[in-house]
Structure 1
Amino acid sequence: MNHLEAYNKIKNRVEWDKSLDTRFEFITYKTPESGRFLQEEHPSVRIEIVYETLFDVDISNADFESKLEYIKQKAILQMLHDVFSDQKDILDYWIDGYVGLFDYAIILKNSNNVMFDVMNSTRINLTETVTDDNLKRWFIDLNGLKDSVNGVYTQSFSDRYRREINRIRKVLFIRNKSMKVVTAR
């Protein structure tokens, strides 16, 4: 199967959680197959903040709902590319047999993408709602912090995502999981 066919098999695993902001009651919220939501990894990954990052202030409700679906689709397709970049085809068994294996990677990739969009949004950065402290926190969350002088280390979302991709690849592609036992005579 190709990436789009794999996407169609896992696209309902994680979904956007219902917003508490009444401006977004028009959104049709779906129940995720895994019970996990795209917002669960970082407090700044919220529908309200995604809305504030959009350049088009007068976006229609249907277009905004499509934008949320596009953000999720982009995260899933990027994750699939990162996992299967060196594979000619994606075997059905890799998706069907390990469907839950991809949930956390999708959430991490989505969080990374949304925070990157927030940091680079001209609209949100021109409003008073974003403080320097928030920008610093998002920058550290995205890039991590490695201060060897003070002994401070904060793992970035990119590092966590790469580690999760490597974990998925180990589960899927290491075929011989048994160890050879060598005995001495």
Structure 2
Amino acid sequence: MVWNFVTECEKKVNIIDKLNLKNVLGDVCILEKSIVPFTLKSSGFCDVLTYLKDRITFQLHKAKECRGEELFWSLHTLIFTKRSFLEGHNTLEQCVNSVTLWSGGSHKVCTMIGKIQNDSLIKFRLSTTKVKFKRIPKEMIIPLAESMIQESYSGGYQSFGLIGQYIRHFAGPVGGCEGAPLLPLIHFLGPLKQDA
């Protein structure tokens, strides 16, 4: 049986923003995007995958402990920048720096989805692709960053049987930073060129 993430997620949540990611998984549903201080280099890719699996495993087991009868998904999307991540003194500053960095550029994205099965077995699916952001006007950057932070505090998927809180803290080769969902930026995603 093919595990169709989009179909399964749409059964759970009726309002989902989708990115058309051209990869082996087809359309992948992006429920959450997160700020992560990694730059994507082939030598560090295995570390990133381990990091993703560890975070997803931890979240799913915690969710199962709290609400054991429900089916849980956990999805993480990491955006890798072409240059070093800009650190900030607080969450707002980090979000502003990140939005500024992503604006007008194309960036590699790694998405991993985890689904808990048979009480303890976790099934993983991985997708890598690119996204391109349109140029974001300077006057919109701070309001967008504030919106990202507000979204991160809402934990908006708890009532749908998905993980109830967004991931807040990340640590990577460049250091630690706060994580926040990027749903407010979905409208600034530009068209992706299809591979030949």
TM-score relative to the length of structure 2: 0.33
Q: Which one has a larger percent helix, Structure 1 or Structure 2?
A: 1
Q: Which has the larger radius of gyration?
A: 1
Q: Which one has a larger percent strand, Structure 1 or Structure 2?
A: 2
TM-score relative to the length of structure 1: 0.35
